[in-house]
Amino acid sequence: MSITYLEAIREAQYEALRNNPSVFLYGQDIGSFGGAFKATKNLNKEFPGRVFDSPISEDAMVGMAVGAAVEGARPIVEMQFADFSSVGFNQIVNQAATLYWRTSTPCPITIRMPSGGTAGSGPFHSQSMEAIYAHYPGLVIVTPATVEDAYWMLLDSIAINDPVIYCEHKFLYYHLKADEIGTRTLPIGKARIARPGRHATIVTYSAMVHEALRAAEELQLDGYSIEVVDLRSVKPMDTDTILASVARTGRLLAVGEAFPWGGVTAEIIARVASEGFHLLDAPPMRLNSKDTPIPYHPNLWKAHRPTIATIAAALRRLLRY
């Protein structure tokens, strides 16, 4: 028996619904249809009256979740694709994110965002919006990269008394499997050493963790041992674990799938450069997607985002320094 990343997301919602009567699910086509990706498959049968098909109204979906949270509920909102959260943006960054700070009323909502690129999905079904939300005070942004984290971090997100943007990567939905969900992982806010190493550190998150791991394997053949840090949550970002890794290796490559201006990789480098400058034996590097919308055709898409090959090439340059 094995369980996929997507199934882990379903199971976590199952658990949350089972254990906490305040939890409910709201999103387009998540009821009897089970969601565009089947992340809520059968949940509306198993928990009648707690899984709702919403109108195509992302702004109102988030607003209603905030209102429900004020009344003590713990709603999980599913965006059909992260990209569509752009029309719910205001309710997320101005309504949900400011509620506690303004009024001392906690806002325990979880917004699930199917994120990231897959071949043939194009500019509006492939976006990674974690940096957009992380810029705003009052939100927690998680980016699970493993089946275990998909499960435990979703449960943790639901338990947190603040709005959580849960970025689940669509590329991992079906491909990524584990034998079982496994025991509880690290808490949100702590990064994970996905692979220990001595010569350089890659700091990354979400689907890029797996590309980074494969690039690290490739470099192993050349005799280099590369450490891979999986951030797990990009806000809060676990600066201590990053710095400790750079202290061991002296070299840093930050890898992300999002657009290149600003974002997670810039934040990683800014932290290490400011707080761990003396740890660096070489200039820190970063690798992102290109500065264009995400292309539809697989030929282009594969070249738009970082790949094993471009990560490995960047590592080689970093190690040569």
Partner 1 sequence: MLLSRVLEEKLGSLYRAGGRIVGGVYLGKGQEAFSAALGIQLRKGRDIYGPLIRDQAGRIAFGESLLDAVRTYLGAVTGPMRGRDGNIHRGRPKEGLMAMISHLGSLVSVVAGGLFARRLAGTLHDSVGATSIGDGGTSTGAFHEGLNMAAVEKLPLVISVANNQYAYSTPNCRQYACVDLVDRAKGYGVQGVAVDATDLGQCLEAFDAAVKRARNGEGPQMVVGHLLRLSGHGEHDDASYIPETARKGPSSVDCLPAAERRIIDEGWMNENELKDLFTEARGKVDQAVAKVSKEATPDPFKEKWQALSSEELAEGHHEA
Active site residues: 125
Alpha carbon of residue 109 to chain centroid: 16
Q: Which residues contact 81 (CB under 8 A, 6 or more apart)?
A: 36, 113, 114, 124, 125, 127
The answer to whether 80 and 114 have CB atoms below 8 angstroms apart is yes
What is the rounded CA–CA span in Å between residue 268 and residue 265? Answer: 5
Q: Tell me if 278 sits within 8 A of 246, measured CB to CB.
A: no
Contact call for residue 280 and its own copies (CB under 8 A): yes
Q: How far is the CB of 95 from partner 1 (least distance, A)?
A: 6
Pairing of the two strands 74-78 and 200-204: unpaired
Closer to its own copies at the Cβ: 135 or 316?
135
| Binding segment (CB under 8 A) for its own copies, from list 3-11, 39-47, 170-178, 266-274 | 266-274
Q: Rule CB under 8 A: is residue 300 a binding residue for its own copies?
A: no
One of 80, 110, 128, 143 touching ligand TPP (CB under 6 A): 80
Positions of E strands within 147-195: 164-169, 177-178, 192-195
Whichever of 146 and 157 has its CB closer to partner 1, that residue is 157
Reading the block at residue 135, the tokens are: 């810029």
- With CB under 8 A as the contact rule, the residue among 8, 132, 255, 312 that binds its own copies is 132
- Rounded to the nearest whole angstrom, what is the least distance from the CB of residue 129 to its own copies in the complex? 9
At closest approach, how far in Å is the CB of 91 from ligand TPP?
12
CB of 293 to ligand TPP, least distance (A): 16
Concatenate the DSSP letters of all residues of 192-247 into one string: EEEE--SSEEEEE-TTHHHHHHHHHHHHHHTT--EEEEE-SEEES--HHHHHHHHH
**What's the closest the beta carbon of residue 308 comes to its own copies, in angstroms?**
21
Considering only residues 81-140, where is the footprint of ligand TPP by CB under 6 A? Answer: 84, 87
Between 141 and 215, CB nearer to its own copies: 141
Distances (CA, A) of 135 to 35, 129, 166, 167, 314: 29, 10, 15, 15, 27
- Residue 134 interface partner, choices ligand TPP, partner 1, its own copies, none, CB cut-off 5-8 Å depending on type: its own copies
* Residues contributing to the site for its own copies (CB under 8 A): 59, 83, 86-87, 89-90, 93-94, 97-98, 101-102, 123-124, 131-132, 134-138, 235, 237, 258-259, 261-267, 269-270, 272-275, 277-278, 280, 282-286, 290-293
